[in-house]
Structure 1
Amino acid sequence: MKKLLAIAAVTFLLWSCGGKQQADLIIHNATVYTVNDEFTVATAFAVKDGKFIGVGSDEDILKDFESDETINLEGAPVYPGLIDAHAHFYRYGLGLKNADLVGTKSFDEILEILQAHREKYPDDEWIVGRGWDQNDWENKEFPSKEKLDKLFPDVPVFISRVDGHAALANSSAMSQSEIFGNTKEVTGGKIYFDKDGKPTGLLVDNAMDLIGKYIPEQTRADQIEALIMAQQNCFAVGLTGVVDAGLEVSTIELIDSLNKSGELKMRLYAMVAPSEQSIDYFKKKGKIKTDYLNVRSFKVYGDGALGSRGANLLSDYSDDPGNSGFLLETEANYDELARTIYDMGFQMNTHCIGDRTDRVILDIYGKYLPEGNDLRWKIEHAQVVSKEDVPKFGKYNIIPSVQPTHATSDMYWAVERLGEDRVKTAYAYKDLLDQNGYIALGSDFPVEDINPMYGFHAAVARQDAENWPEGGWQAENKLSREEALRGMTIWVAYSNFEENEKGSIEVGKFADFIFTQKDMMKAPESELRNLKVTATYLNGQKVY
């Protein structure tokens, strides 16, 4: 019997050496942008157990592998699954049931949307909305609460600006907080008052917390629904990974539990909101790393946004003399936080919009990051950076994590805020890329649209949805298509310490990939924004 078993084993070995390897999926006759170091374009690959096991020519893959599922793409393009380097995945999901104010052209239009929203959800305790931008209105002044009070005298209303750094509340909402008390000034924030000294309802940055903390929390069922809805919307636009910028411990634990149950499959790199509680939690627990969740960083807020004039500038706003914005914390607090994060072995990722904020944070980073380090600390947004400070990214190996659609959304009014000279140092993605040879690209959704094709178009064309302006805005900072694709795949993976498992189509990596209707690398620039994803695969399984 033993002799027969030995003969059978030898026979199996001989057959397996000369036969084909079984795969779960084979893709061939495709245009496969591997995004490996050489940016090789293959034509076929094979997948087994959720990972790529072969990548190359049709001849080699079909010779070496066989599968019950073999797809001939007839030359269609394939790319690694796209990764958004900076977004608010959980917050986006929660907001899907709030009033959508994006693209409104006047405050009166907002009022109409809020009334319709109230009719749809009459039992909600609060009316919450997001997305207005006074820069899109004929009257570009900030709104005040009077019309909200008239329409909703007994229902609290809280509607935040598109950037999430300003909000308008009605009197009913303010009556639930301390804002009607003696509060006049807020560190790292601003309360607007009318000529009679009464609050207008407009709050900027940290002042938003005076009311925001009273909004009822979502139930666990609502939170789960939000995460699942966000996941499906991401898959539909080709996102297989998202960096979620600023999560609480309770949300991270919920996400981890949904990963383990199989309900949530989106790959998330979670930045932790740096409260005392969360820092203590991760000091004890350490980093979290699974196939779907990676927690090893903190998201720090340096300042506000340019659109709401909360970004901290080295000199005053060109359209608001006497105002240069503000930091959200003291410099000493940022320094202490950097030392704590460094000692924990975590990554520090700081929201920096204004040139003064970038300078302050870059210099603090420089105190803790030795030259040649591989700690991969990031500056999130890096929106306005003085020429003197740009080289610090290279000196300390700091990663710029930027959002190309911010440039094309802000280009209509950025010069008003910054002036003709200073605006040239803003949204300077090519200059930042040249420091280390890589840059991470994201969207900041829901601040911008979730669709990564909008970001790809903005990065390479520097144009809006109407393909304006001709030639691109500040075209010297355009990225090439290869740079933009790397910035949405392998360079994001690198910024998350995940370059060995995702971000390219290479043997041994997760089989996350997408098909598109037209080729991102060849289609006319004017068609890039509306380019459609036709299929999304995660672990070699079709999820869209």
Structure 2
Amino acid sequence: MSMNQKGDVVFFNGQIFTSNPEQPYASTMLVREGRIAWIGEQAEAENVEGERVDLKGRRVLPGFIDAHLHPLYLADAEKQIACTFPLVNSIEDIVAEVRKQRDIHGADAWVRGWGYDEGKMTEGRAPTRWDLDKAAPDAPVIITRTCGHIAVASSRALELAGITKDTPSPAGGKIDRDANGEPTGVLRESAKDLVQKMMPAQTLDENAAMLAELSPKLFAHGITGITDLMGRTEPINYLDMYNAAAEKGLKQRTVLYYLWEDLEKNPQMTTEEKCATNQIHIGGVKLFADGSVSGQTAWVDPPFLGEEENDGISTTSEKELLDAAEFAERHQIQLVVHAMGEQAIDQIINTFYGQKGWIADAPSIRIEHAAMPTKLAIQRAAEMGVGFVPQPIFLFAEIESYLNNLGAERTKTTYPVKTMLEAGIKVAFSSDAPATAWADPVNPFVGLKAAVTRTAYNGTDTGQDQRVDVATAIELYTRAAQEITRIPDVGQLKPGYHADFIVLDQDILAIAPETIDQITVEETYMGGQLVYKK
């Protein structure tokens, strides 16, 4: 250990879990200029001087990295009605919440909600325009389904969008109708855009302010590294928006993944924009190979349960995957593909099987969600070095949809995390917040509990043989998430790394796994600085 320097801080008397397999546990850390200069046991640290911070015997972890997130949508969702358990359990509850908002804001303001899941409604169906009209006959209302692919609009909102009995469904979307051909208010995929584009657009500045406001909420959950998996170049360039947010107080280290449809039109990208030591940088190009399990649009084999044969929707082509990969290779960034169903995952694996990756120290190709990989796909993904980024909260929060669409036995085989790890696949955990049916969707402790218990919120078994132990689950949200997102020098507490760490109110490694979601973060540090205190 070198001589002491001014500004050194010694954090001592902690139960530190480092996520570093070579030195998993420690009690004391020396932080110098924002990085860990030394870590080990208190007895070895007697001659270490500096300001001393007593961790009071509490459990310390590296800061969490959410490898698949939608911060702008999450920030926006904070301003909407959360139509999810435990706030909302029925259409009646939605009507009551909409009425409250209408009474506060008047007839001209849009009332927005997110997160409904008809599988959880006591009425057993999705809301319609007529339900929303009961609450706000004169105001435009739009409520987005948990999956983000479907929305329901009130009569006033349909009227503003010019949607009538005679409006045809747009390409790539569907306007649901009743027996008389009247729109029910339910709008699928591109049809929901007809209403969404009538809403007042947010400016870059408004969005940046919203992201800055989200920063302390993420710190309260121990999240120090984030991603945005829906980067756009227009109407607002996300890099500009996030840089503006950083000026307004967004502190998390952030990686952006841009949609291929935008990059194809604007293919320029500078070295500076991709520089991983910048707080905000571009890490990849994003495509979709299918839809969602809950919306029955994942491209599956065998088909979903139900009256008619439905194996979901394929949403990309081999040519598009190859074009996007060529762009990613040229820019030395990742190719990131959303794929849930067996056929969607196979399409990606088969397109690139036998080709060499272009990134030396991380997966060149990431498969997001990876809900239903076949045995062969798992074996080949391991061989190819493809990364998988699943979300443990999905099965936990959306169990009704999985049971309805796949049945109990097949549900247990989805997101086979243990099998993925045993095969040697690089796996990172994430939340995909807010695209899941949970009132606090970004909370890592809900995901960790789901991964170690493989039990849904209502007690349903989601596949005991795919459980992972608590230490592994933490590593998948820290070190492994770093290995996939490539944010430099984070995810472990070891010499040379940034001192990004969190202090918990309970020992996650000692308590009963089913109570992990009750843990709260007492303090969050970034670069050795206290950025959040409960």
Same fold by TM-score greater than 0.5: yes
Q: Deviations over 1:175-201 (max 9, x none)?
A: 3446545533533x4332222333322
Aligned to 2:473: 484
Aligned to 1:8: none
Note the 1:129-278 alignment, pairs <5 A.
129-177=113-161, 179-180=163-164, 182-184=167-169, 186-187=171-172, 189-249=173-233, 250-259=237-246, 261=247, 263-276=249-262
Q: 1:293 to 1:237 in 2, by over 3 A?
A: same
Aligned to 2:387: 399
Residue of 278, 302, 307 corresponding to 1:315: 302
Residue of 375, 379, 382 corresponding to 2:370: 382
Contact 1:31 1:78 in 2 (8 A): yes
Aligned to 1:11: none
CA distance in 1, matches of 2:522, 2:132: 43
- Structure 2 counterpart SS, 1:86: coil
1:52 aligns with 2:44: no
CA distance in 2, matches of 1:119, 1:242: 36
Contact 1:126 1:155 in 2 (8 A): yes
Aligned to 1:416: 404
Contact 1:205 1:310 in 2 (8 A): no
CA distance in 1, matches of 2:126, 2:354: 39
Cα offset, 1:100, TM superposition: 1.9
Aligned length: 520
Residue of 74, 82, 90 corresponding to 2:64: 82
Cα offset, 1:80, TM superposition: 0.6
Aligned to 1:457: 449
1:522 aligns with 2:505: no
Cα offset, 1:220, TM superposition: 4.1
CA distance in 2, matches of 1:129, 1:278: 32
Aligned to 1:119: 103
Contact 1:405 1:458 in 2 (8 A): yes
Q: 1:510 to 1:248 in 2, by over 3 A?
A: same
CA distance in 1, matches of 2:358, 2:232: 32
- Structure 1 counterpart SS, 2:254: strand
CA distance in 2, matches of 1:524, 1:424: 22
Q: Report the structure number with the largest CA radius of gyration.
A: 1
Residue of 56, 62, 66 corresponding to 2:49: 66
CA distance in 1, matches of 2:339, 2:372: 8
CA distance in 2, matches of 1:398, 1:239: 25
With 37-46 and 361-370 compared, the bigger mean Cα shift is at 361-370
- Structure 2 counterpart SS, 1:70: strand
Cα offset, 1:146, TM superposition: 1.9
With 208-217 and 362-371 compared, the bigger mean Cα shift is at 362-371
CA distance in 2, matches of 1:190, 1:356: 23
Cα offset, 1:367, TM superposition: 6.7
Letter of the 1:431 counterpart:
T
Cα offset, 1:230, TM superposition: 1.1
CA distance in 2, matches of 1:81, 1:66: 25
Contact 1:155 1:172 in 2 (8 A): yes
1:441 aligns with 2:436: no
Aligned to 1:9: none
1:289 aligns with 2:272: no
With 487-496 and 173-182 compared, the bigger mean Cα shift is at 173-182
Contact 2:91 2:123 in 1 (8 A): no
Contact 1:384 1:427 in 2 (8 A): yes
CA distance in 1, matches of 2:435, 2:228: 13
Residue of 512, 521, 532 corresponding to 2:520: 532
Cα offset, 1:291, TM superposition: 4.0
With 413-422 and 451-460 compared, the bigger mean Cα shift is at 413-422
Give the TM-score of the pair, scaled to structure 2.
0.90
Aligned to 1:20: 4
Q: 1:331 to 1:420 in 2, by over 3 A?
A: farther
Letter of the 1:439 counterpart:
V
Cα offset, 1:416, TM superposition: 2.5
Q: 1:539 to 1:20 in 2, by over 3 A?
A: closer
Structure 1 vs Structure 2 CA RMSD: 2.5
CA distance in 2, matches of 1:332, 1:542: 48
Q: 1:289 to 1:372 in 2, by over 3 A?
A: closer
Aligned to 2:289: 302
- Structure 2 counterpart SS, 1:201: strand
1:427 aligns with 2:411: no
Cα offset, 1:430, TM superposition: 1.1
Q: 1:338 to 1:176 in 2, by over 3 A?
A: farther
Note the 1:25-36 alignment, pairs <5 A.
25-36=9-20
Contact 2:98 2:135 in 1 (8 A): no
- Structure 2 counterpart SS, 1:71: strand
Aligned to 1:475: 464
Aligned to 2:334: 347
Q: Deviations over 1:2-50 (max 9, x none)?
A: xxxxxxxxxxxxxx97x53444321112111111132520110011111
Aligned to 1:41: 25
Q: For structure 1, which runs of at least 5 residues remain unmatched after alignment? A: 1-15
Letter of the 1:333 counterpart:
E
- Structure 2 counterpart SS, 1:510: coil
Q: Deviations over 1:481-510 (max 9, x none)?
A: 121011000100010123x51000011111
Q: 1:47 to 1:282 in 2, by over 3 A?
A: farther
Residue of 97, 102, 106 corresponding to 2:84: 102
Give the TM-score of the pair, scaled to structure 1.
0.89
Contact 1:393 1:432 in 2 (8 A): no
